[in-house]
Structure 1
Amino acid sequence: MATVIIIDDHPMIRLATKLLVEQDGHRVIANANNALEGVQRILALHPEMVVLDIDLPPFDGIEVVKRVRGADYCGKILMMTGKQDIKLVKRSIDAGANGFVYKSNDYQELSAAVQAVDCGYSYFPMLDAIARATLIDEEQADEMLSLLTRRERQIIMCLAKGMRNKDIAYFLNISHKTVSAHKVNLMQKLGLTNEMKIAEFIVRHNLG
C-alpha cells in the first residue's frame, strides 16, 4: 500500500480524503492546505502518491504537478476538482498526472481512482466517455446551436469558460434558478443528459 500526501485547501475535504485513503489501507504521511506547502512536502517526503486539488492558493494544482515533475518526482499523482471542465483533465495529463476525479462524484469513485493509480494504471474515465460518444459533424452542431435562445447561447459559452452557476448568474445579472432553468432547456435541445455531456459537447465543437 502507498504512502500518501493530501493537498487541499478545505479541511473537511482533507479529513474525508484521509479517512477514505486510510480505510483502503494506505498511509497518509502529511497534508498541505496550499500549493507552495504542497510542493515543499512532496519534494521533502517523496510519497508514493499525492492526492491533489486543482483549486489551490497561491497557484493551482496543475502548476504543482509541473513543479514536482520538473524536480524529478516520480510518484503517482491523482487530481481532484469541483469544476466540471474537461480541459482541466487534458491539462493535468499534459502536466504529468496519473488520474483525475471530480469532487461532485461519490467517494467510491475516489477510492477506485486511488486503487487504480496505486496499481500503476491511469484513471481518466471522463476521457473514455468522450471517446465513446457519437461525434456530431459541424453542420449538425450549428443546427443544434441555432435552436438555442440568445440567453441559452450566452450560458453555454459561460459554461465553456468553466464558470459555475453562481458566477453565470452574477455575470448575466439573473438569478441562480434562472440559470438552472436555462441549462435544463439547452440540455434538452442539444440532447445532453448531464453536465459532463455539456462539457463533452463544448470540447468537441471548440466552444471554449
Structure 2
Amino acid sequence: MEALVVDDHPVVRAAVAMLLRKAGFLHIHEASTGSEVLPKIREHKPDLVVLDLVMPGLDGLDVLARIRASGMKCRVLVFTSQEPLHYQDRCMRAGAEAYVSKTNNLDHLQKAMGAVMAGYSYFVKLPSSSVALNALQRTEAQMIERLSDRELTIFQCLSQGMSNKDIGKRLNLSHKTISTYKVRLIEKLHVKSGVFLRDIAKRNHVI
C-alpha cells in the first residue's frame, strides 16, 4: 500500500510516516505544500492521503476541493490543529473520510487510519448547538458557517493577528485581495471594524 503525508512540518510528517509503516504501508511519499498534492497523487496513486489544513499556498480545504473536482479516487484523512467545530463538516462535505485533531494523542490517528482503510469514516461527535451554545454564539456560529472556505481561512488568520501582507504571502494572494476579504468579513459577521473579529473568533473557538 502507498500513502501520501501532506504537512509543512517535517517532525509531523515523520511521526505520521512512522504510524503508516506500522499500519502496513510500504511506500510513503511526502509533500509540504498544497500545490504539490495533486501531482503526487497522479504520480503515486496513494491508497491514503493524510492531509493538514494549514499550509503555504493552497490550504487543505482548497486541496480537498481540487481532488474532488479532478475525479481522482483516494481516501483522505484530515490531520490538523484546526478546531473541528468549524472545519470537520466542511471537510466531510468536501470528501474527506476522517478528521483527527492534532491535540489528540496519536492513538486517535492510528484508529482513524484503520477505520478509513477498512472502508469506514472517522469523525468526532460535535456538540449540539442548541445545548452547548448560548443565543449569541448560535447566531455567530450560523454566520461563520455561511462563510466560504477561503473567507473562513482569512478570518482565522486575521483573528490571530496576522497582517494583510503575511496572509497574502501565505495564501499566494495580493495585499489588496486580503483587504477586500477583510471588508467582506466585517460586513458578513456584522462587526464595526476588524478589531472585533478576534472577539468573535475566540468566542466561537475559531482560534
Measured against the shorter chain, the TM-score band is 0.5 to 0.7
Q: What is the CA–CA distance in structure 2 between the aligned matches of 1:52 and 1:124, rounded to whole Å?
A: 15
> Which amino acid in 1 is paired with 2:47?
E
> In the superposition, relative to structure 1, how do residues 140 and 120 fare at CA in structure 2: closer, same or farther (>3 Å)?
closer
Asked if residue 110 in structure 1 is aligned to residue 120 in structure 2, the reply is: no
Q: What is the CA–CA distance in structure 1 between the aligned matches of 2:138 and 2:35, rounded to whole Å?
A: 43
Tell me which residue corresponds to 2:170: none
Tell me which residue corresponds to 2:146: none
Tell me which residue corresponds to 1:16: 15
Tell me which residue corresponds to 2:135: 138
> Which amino acid in 2 is paired with 1:70?
A
Asked if residue 59 in structure 1 is aligned to residue 58 in structure 2, the reply is: yes
| Cα shift at 1:202 | 3.5
Cα deviation code 1:134-187 (max 9, x no counterpart): 456739989xxxxxxxxxxxxxxxxxx54799x37xxxxxxxxxxxxxxxxxxx
State the 4+ residue runs in structure 1 displaced beyond 4 angstroms: 139-142, 161-165
| Cα shift at 1:48 | 0.9
Cα deviation code 1:69-111 (max 9, x no counterpart): 2111111100111122421112111211111111111101000
> Which amino acid in 1 is paired with 2:87?
L
Map 1:153-192; keep pairs closer than 5 Å: 162=156, 167=160
Give the secondary-structure state (helix, strand or coil) at the position aligned to 1:121: coil
- What is the percentage of aligned positions where both structures have the same residue? 28
| Cα shift at 1:117 | 0.8
> Which amino acid in 1 is paired with 2:33?
N
Tell me which residue corresponds to 2:72: 73
Q: What is the CA–CA distance in structure 2 between the aligned matches of 1:85 and 1:162, rounded to whole Å?
A: 13
Cα deviation code 1:25-68 (max 9, x no counterpart): 22333111111111210122211110011111111011111112
Tell me which residue corresponds to 1:7: 6
Tell me which residue corresponds to 2:190: none
Q: Is the 8 A contact 2:76 2:98 kept in 1?
A: yes
Which residues of structure 1 form unaligned runs of 5+?
Answer: 143-160, 169-198
Which residues of structure 2 form unaligned runs of 5+?
Answer: 140-154, 162-200
Report the aligned-residue RMSD. Answer: 3.3
Give the secondary-structure state (helix, strand or coil) at the position aligned to 1:78: strand
Q: Is the 8 A contact 2:83 2:101 kept in 1?
A: yes
Q: Is the 8 A contact 1:9 1:56 kept in 2?
A: yes
Give the secondary-structure state (helix, strand or coil) at the position aligned to 1:93: helix
| Cα shift at 1:132 | 10
Tell me which residue corresponds to 1:27: 26
Q: Is the 8 A contact 1:78 1:98 kept in 2?
A: yes
| Cα shift at 1:115 | 0.7
Q: Which structure has the greater CA radius of gyration? A: 1
Q: Is the 8 A contact 1:77 1:99 kept in 2?
A: yes
